[in-house]
Amino acid sequence: MLKEKLFFRSDDDTDFMPIIPINENDSEQDKNLVIPDTLPILPLRNTVLFPGVVLPITVGRDKSIKAVNDAYKLDKLIGVLAQKDANIEEPEPKDLCNIGTVAKIVKLIKMPDGGTTIIIQGKKRFEMQEMISDDPYFKASISLFADDEIPVSEDFNAYISSIKDLAAQIIQLSPNLPTEASIILKNIENPSFLINFVSSNLNSELTEKQSLLEINDIHQRAERLIFILQRELQFAELKDKVTNKTRTEIDKQQRDYFLQQQLKSIKDELGGDSNEREITDMKKKAEAKKWPEAAKALFKNGVAKLERMHPTTPDYSVVYNHLDLMLDLPWLDYTADNYDLKNAKKVLDADHYGMGKIKTRILEYLAVLKLKGDMKSPILCFLGPPGIGKTSLGRSIAHAIGRKYVRVSLGGLHDESEIRGHRKTYIGAMPGRIVQNIRKCKSSNPVMILDEIDKIGSDFRGDPSSALLEVLDPEQNHTFYDNYLELEYDLSKVLFIATANNLQNIQPALRDRLEIIDLSGYAVEEKVEIAKRHLLPKQKEAHGLNKVNFKINDKVLEKIIEQHTRESGVRELDRQLASIMRYQAKELATKNKVKSTVTSADVEKILGQSRYSNEIYKTANMPGVAVGLAWTYVGGDILFIETILGDGKGDLKLTGNLGNVMKESATTALSYLQANAKKLGVDPEDFAKKNIHIHVPEGAVPKDGPSAGITMLTSLTSAFTGRKVKPFLAMTGEITLRGQVLPVGGIKEKILAAKRAGLKEIILCWQNEKDINEIDGNFIKGLQFHYVKTMQQVVDLALV
């Protein structure tokens, strides 16, 4: 803001306030005033005394008080000289101006605080000849200037009139000066006093006032005063113009700004502004922060911008939040990895039963880190059915290697800004979830679980899986760019672990970046161990039964698993065990005791009759019914293929909510059977006389895939030949028109499903033998496998 300049002194300036004497013609009386050649000297700061002008002065220096007291006791006359530099507390003779004014002390007032206030009136100008003494106060010999002779000329009268007019205009343009001041000025008749009075009230530098006092010729003094007044008038007009223009344009925001400035001044008086303290705290944090040079430079620019902003402006919070995020991010802060491989294996084994492939992969990663000291983290993807512990395994890995753990749920995500962040200029903008979780865990090398990566949405609102391409590429993620952060962040040390149920739902480019580790479902034996080691202790604690001793033996657990659950994981088993614990808790609360062992009868009482039974596979099936093995995203399952023949024209009908691939398998099986009818013992003429209906039960469940090919052909052959399919036999494999059997996937899940269902024999493609060899022999005990290459072998094995 422009420094306010006024013609007259405002009421705030209370050090010196000129007073108009009652009688301006005192100069007539002053002619008889006897002024000695030697006078005590009173140095004045910040002002110049002119003849005729009355000033109240507060005297504070000891020397000045003594000089005033001595002068008041004698003739009340004292020499007043202005200091050249107002900042000097104890002036010396060289610090005083040579020309000053003889003053008469009109009144001396002793103040209650011990100070002295005097009212003095200027009498005559003088020049200091020599400083006689400076102790106890200044005393100097002086020579007086002659009184001003008033010129009798039109020019001088015009000067005096111009001075009055200019002074009146300045008073009118200054809103803080009373209008009565212009009336007083018009009534001053003595030209010499008018010049002195106006000069005394100029809001000019002290040197300019002193120069006016030093001009001997009154004509020249008037001319110089007019020049100064014209300059002051121009400034007053300009200020008035700016003020009026601003007043018309000012709006609420500007008004608030001025009020906030005043509030800031008040806060400063009360001990500083909180915003300044916040910025100072930020700077202190930044000094101790370990971060890249680019981040340091961006932070400095942001702080500089914040200091120039007012806290009420909308952008202030945007910049502040951005800087706060930069300070919260760990940048170059890493947790130390625990390279003790034996301990890591022990932790992994304690937390999860089985899963040897994943545990081996993690130990390999740790081994390389231990030897090399630094490597890009792999991007792992745990693929498997729900409830087998994919997510909890991530937490276990973090615990084993001594890293922080964070989980990002990607299920249903449809906005790429959730990954990469919003531009910070938007209202409600936030960094992406990756950066948010890094900020939360305070480490730049956590284990980050990207949960349900196969369930990311993709529509008109965005494609987050495409944004993940940068995050999950070890060659790119060391310069991951978040739109909110507006800076590259190194994610190369983060161990990303994605989890998925269905690989087909992950887009190919993203799938290519993932190291897929298949997690198959659990066998009954594995579920028994998991229940004993993890589920039972957890449910006991959850139901307040920690200190109650009762047992559930392996046979009972097997009954629960086989007759009350049918899943790849253990979630349903966990719920069934929770039901048993609730029953036990009720028994304890009502009877104060529980049975020491939970028996099969107790299970039936608590959980009810068996929900699943293997009896269906033991009944003698009619010809045309075969058992197939299927893979679903929740694990393996068994399905029936039913074929029935009726009189007709050889039409083929398919029902059971089948997909295109499965329909094509049925067509292929029929074509092969027609081409090889005699070889398989079928009358070729039957195909023209019989309508064929193939149905797959559970019609509400969609089914698709090529793996039911050999089951379809077996069912068709059984129906046409009248030969039954062996009981307790299942099969899986794709067929060709040439009669070959091709391998299929999901073998472990399918085999475990067959084992759960109580089947005894399984027919597979010979190329799937390697998949069987990977399964723990204990889990497939009691199963007999038949490996085939052609359909003829399948028919020979399957039909009685």
What residues are annotated to the active site? 707, 750
Token readout for 212 is: 């006016």
Read off φ and ψ for residue 349, nearest 5 degrees.
-65, -35
For β-strands 139-144 and 495-500, DSSP reports them as: unpaired
d(CA 33, CA 531): 120
Distance, in Å, from the CA atom of 655 to the CA atom of 796, rounded to the nearest integer, reads 27
Residue 647, number of CB atoms within 10 A of its CB: 7
Phi-psi region of 728 (alpha: psi -120 to 50; beta: other; left: phi over 0): left
Task: Tell me which long-range contacts 700-703 makes (C-beta under 8 A, separation of at least 24).
Answer: 700/657, 701/657, 702/657, 702/659, 703/630, 703/639, 703/656, 703/657, 703/658, 703/659, 703/662
Residue for token pair 């007759």? 563
Residue with tokens 């950066």: 435
Tell me the C-alpha distance between 538 and 574, whole Å.
9
The first and second tokens of residue 688, run together, are 């023209």
The single-letter DSSP state of residue 478 is G
Torsion of CA 11, 15, 21, 25, to 10 degrees: -120
8 Å CB contact between 117 and 111:
yes
Do 484 and 438 meet the contact criterion of CB atoms below 8 Å apart?
no
The residue among 290, 634, 705, 214 whose CA lies nearest residue 490 is: 290
How much is the CA Rg of the chain, to the nearest whole Å?
Answer: 51
* Mode of pairing for the β-strands spanning 734-735 and 741-742: antiparallel
The residue to which tokens 């499965």 are assigned: 662
Q: Which of 445, 357, 465 lies closest to 405 in space, CA to CA?
A: 445
At CA 791, angle to CA 777 and CA 652, rounded to 5?
120
Distance separating the N- and C-terminal Cα atoms of the chain: 106
Strand partners, 110: 116
Classify 704 as helix, strand or coil: coil
DSSP secondary structure string for all residues of 244-256: HHHHHH--HHHHH
SS3 788: strand
- Output the CA–CA distances (angstroms, integers) from residue 244 to 237, 240, 249, in the order listed: 11, 6, 9
Rounded Cα distance, 690 and 683, in Å? 11
Amino acid at 115: G
Residue with tokens 């200190």: 547
Among residues 513, 581, 571, the alpha carbon closest in space to that of 546 is found at 581
Burial bucket for residue 428 (CB in 10 Å: 0-12, 13-18, 19+): exposed
